[in-house]
Amino acid sequence: HPHSRPRHSGARTMLPLLLLLLATAHGLDKLPTLEAPVLASSSLGGQTTASTFVLEQPRCVFKNVQEDTVIWLVVADPRAVPNFTNSVEPGGPGREFQQFLNSSLAYMTLNTTILNYPCPKNPGDITVLRVGSETGCATDKARPTCNGPLPGPGPYQVKFLALNGSKPVAQTAWSKPITLRTAQPSGSIPVPGSGHSAGMIALTSILSILFAILLAGLVAMLIWGSDASSGSSTFSKPEAVTVRRYNTHHVYDQPAARL
């Protein structure tokens, strides 16, 4: 046909290149996925609070990584999980703790080398991580990887990410959603003397009546005892003691006998 145009040869070469780039970018997150983090045993106490939760350390999880590999904990809002990318730098834009749940739906914290997660653990060791325990850096923008208190009850999801330099080399699966405790409103805390149950009110009434009866009995016994004492006692009028007056004989000095 005289009006038809031949296809541009560059279009044929660009399409495979774009597909290759997309596959490479998509492959950045295709890492070995290991066992998901779990909450620490409830027997330790304080498994979750209003702003923290406790995880088991990833012991015996990252077995095939180099000794200088750094393990990071990723804390995320569940909305960020489906499209989360491991290529964002820890503490970089979109990963700051201070912006969590504002401009950032995930942050990275608690970084340490794999050497601090030896396998197996020593018997008797408490191998846990408390997430949200640092208060001093919560508003310090110079520490975007702060392990600061969580801003609300959640839920949250977490995973561990292994970085060799800036390159992701392994990761765990995302944990199940973790919901923190909700602080009890002050208005719902019972005040002494109010909000008692019907049984408590009845018991208090019975005790009050019994106390009144006992008190009345004690008063009656005191009055009866006083009356009985005054009726049985006899009082005799003391006899008047009279002293008879005697006129004493006055002894007069006799004048000396005259010779």
What is the distance between the alpha carbons of residues 119 and 125, in angstroms, rounded to a whole number?
12
Q: What is the pLDDT of residue 12?
A: 52
Q: What is the pLDDT of residue 130?
A: 96
pLDDT in single tens digits along all 259 residues of the chain: 544 455 554 545 454 444 444 444 444 456 778 999 999 987 777 899 999 999 999 999 998 899 889 999 999 999 999 999 999 999 999 999 999 999 999 999 999 999 999 888 877 788 999 999 999 999 999 999 999 999 999 999 999 999 998 899 999 999 999 999 986 665 555 555 555 566 777 788 888 898 889 888 888 888 877 665 555 444 445 555 444 554 555 544 555 544 4
Break the chain into its structural domains and give their ranges: 30-180
**How many CA atoms does the CB half-sphere of 123 hold within 13 Å?**
0
What residues have CB less than 8 Å from 34, skipping those under 6 apart? 61, 62, 160, 170, 171, 172, 173
Number of Cβ atoms within 10 Å of the Cβ of 256: 6
Q: What is the pLDDT of residue 258?
A: 46
Its CATH class, for the domain covering 30-180, is: mainly beta
Structure letter (DSSP) for residue 48: B
What is the distance between the alpha carbons of residues 177 and 81, in angstroms, rounded to a whole number?
11
Q: Which two tokens stand for residue 117?
A: 């997660």
What is the distance between the alpha carbons of residues 39 and 42, in angstroms, rounded to a whole number?
8
- Count helices and strands in the chain by DSSP H and E runs: 2, 7
pTM for the model: 0.62
Q: What is the pLDDT of residue 89?
A: 93
What is the distance between the alpha carbons of residues 119 and 199, in angstroms, rounded to a whole number?
57
Q: Which two tokens stand for residue 167?
A: 């390159």
Sign of the dihedral through C-alpha 81, 83, 85, 91: negative
Q: What is the pLDDT of residue 151?
A: 94
Q: What is the pLDDT of residue 45?
A: 77
